[in-house]
Chain A
Amino acid sequence: MLNKVRRFFVELGWPIAISVAALLLWEVAVRELGVRSIILPPPSEVFDAMLQRSELLLTNLWPSLYLTVLGFGLSVVGGVLVAVLITYSSIVRKGFYPIIVVSQVVPKIAIAPLFVVWFGTGAMSSLLLVVLVTFFPMTINSALGFQSIDEDMHRMARALTGSNWQIFWKIRMPHALPYIFSGMKISITLAVIGVIVSEFVASQEGIGYLIKLAGGLLDTPLMMAAITLLSMSGLALYGLIALAEHHLIYWQTADDTGESSRS
């Protein structure tokens, strides 16, 4: 335990020290050079804006976070379900899977204005954009997980008269879990981007809306406070997933990922 704590600090000590030093340098440089805070506010002013206008920031943060998590959740459930279809239905695998893959050449962010035309400027457009950007990594990763079980394991289970149901729940699902978590870690980052872009395009609330609004008012400290808060939220969401992964996938340790344990 003590060893773990020590390793944690040794690993995080340097990045934290460098970050603090960079912030200090930023603070001092901006003050000494007399840079106007419209161009670049010192970190202290950004921090101040976060405290002073926390209510404004938080009221705009919640709808964005809500849509991020909801859209992400829909993608996780939907992506895993479609992956199951891809695994078990040769029609879906041969007919739809290539389309899903090829459709990825469309830069999904570019579709945001189209969604506004179709679904208006409300939460529906944002939600759909989040689902659109996160669905693909969820589906592909889960499908890969379900399908990459060991051929001999599958044979052994069948030789022991194991049913498809048993093979799915006792072999495919646990085997796919690490892949599903990889998909989730990619998707959660994309989900945040999706929400912000959609709020940029057309929205009356949300952190993306606030960033755009503050930009229009040249309120750079508020903008940077919003960006900071957004980044911290994104990091927290990612952290939650990584934590769940660490506990659920106990059979893989950090030092043997990618080795035989996953094959």
Chain B
Amino acid sequence: MRAKILFTSSMTAESEGRPAASQVLRIKDVRKVYGDLEVIRNVSLNVAATEFVGILGPSGCGKSTLLMMIAGLVERTAGEILIIGELVTGPRREVGVVFQQPVLLPWRTVLDNVLFPIELLKLSRAKYKERAMELLTMAKIGDFAHHLPRQLSGGMRQRVSICCALIHDPSILLMDEPFSALDAITRDEMGVELLRIWQANRKTVIFVTHSIREAAFLSDRVLVMGRRPATILDDVAIDLRRPRQISMMEDERFNQYVRRLRKAIEASHAQ
């Protein structure tokens, strides 16, 4: 039933026989310099369709800048970023972004907020209304469709933000520390929720975080970034079965991954 509503663009690309479909995102030798401050140095990265990639690093290490460059909102100083085989020169509609704080318009109802990206993209609201409701239901906030954001809790607002980012069916979901403003319990729950939504949608997700456990729990693969200028120090495949459950955080294998990631981070601090 879900497959009906969730028409993923990567699947259409495959059916057209485009080879780029398997590699949704390619980053080659990207560098970013602000004035004489080098923020990012030679980052290269390939992300396959439907892959969940965590980017882990200390605060202010340039993770967000990298994300904004993928979104086409920040210009890169050097290097190439390709989304589905096309060079990024500005914002693209294949991308959905979720920020640290939920970005909702307080004068719009939850449903109208979810449909806001559709208006910006100059698409038909009527066509997407059903999909918006289905996304909200999937995110377990269907009953709040006609509420204003201020009537919702922080966690619920962030669920709405995720729906906003998914409404136009982007191939890549960029998430910039989306749960860091939430309390620890809500945060774990939201992680599980996100995985559930991701499993149903099969988007490519780039998830930036400074929480080691969060990165390990959510991702297929965790990239560890060091302090400025940021480079990728380690690329760790997280081979844990899916769907993941909170109880898995107690497992020895999970904690091995956590230790390995922590070592990589500590190594970057020592530099």
Contacts and interface: CB of A to CB of B under 8 A. Distances in A.
Interface stretch (B28-36, B51-59, B95-103, B201-209): B95-103
A155 B99 CA distance: 10
Interface string A157-198: 111111000100011001000000000000000000000000
Interface in A130-151: 150
Contact of A156 (B93, B103, B106, B119): B103
Given A157-B120, A170-B119, A251 B148 contact: yes
A251 B119 contact: no
A152 B99 contact: yes
A251 B106 contact: yes
A160 B105 contact: no
Contacts of A153: 103, 105
B19 interface: no
A150 B120 contact: no
Interface stretch (B68-76, B214-222, B230-238, B244-252): B68-76
A156 B99 contact: yes
Nearest to B68: A155
A260 interface: yes
Interface in A242-263: 249-252, 256, 260-261
Interface in B38-67: none
B120 A160 contact: yes
SS class of chain A's interface: helix, strand, loop or mixed? helix
B106 A160 contact: no
Interface string A73-114: 000000000000000000000000000000000000000000
A159 B71 contact: yes
Interface string B160-191: 00001000100000000000000000000000
B103 A150 contact: yes
Contacts of A170: 105, 116, 119-120
Nearest to A259: B150
A79 to B, nearest CB: 22
The size bracket of the interface on A is 20 to 34
Contacts of B168: 160
Contacts of B99: 152, 155-156
A161 B103 contact: no
B79 interface: no
Contacts of A150: 101, 103
Given A170-B116, A250-B107, A159 B91 contact: yes
Contacts of B92: 161
B150 A256 contact: yes
Contacts of A251: 106-107, 148, 150
Query: In the complex, which of the residues B72, B92, B95, B106 has the most CB atoms of chain A within 10 Å of its own CB atom?
Result: B106
B105 A174 contact: yes
A170 B92 CA distance: 20
B117 A160 contact: yes
Query: In the complex, which of the residues A152, A156, A157, A261 has the most CB atoms of chain B within 10 Å of its own CB atom?
Result: A156
Given A171-B105, A174-B107, A250-B107, A160 B148 contact: no
Given A153-B105, A155-B99, A156-B99, A162 B68 contact: no
Interface of B: 68, 71-73, 91-93, 95, 97, 99-101, 103, 105-107, 116-117, 119-121, 148, 150, 164, 168
23 contacts: A150-B103, A152-B100, A152-B103, A155-B99, A156-B164, A157-B120, A158-B73, A159-B72, A159-B73, A159-B95, A159-B97, A160-B91, A160-B168, A161-B120, A166-B120, A170-B116, A174-B105, A174-B107, A249-B107, A251-B107, A251-B148, A252-B106, A261-B106
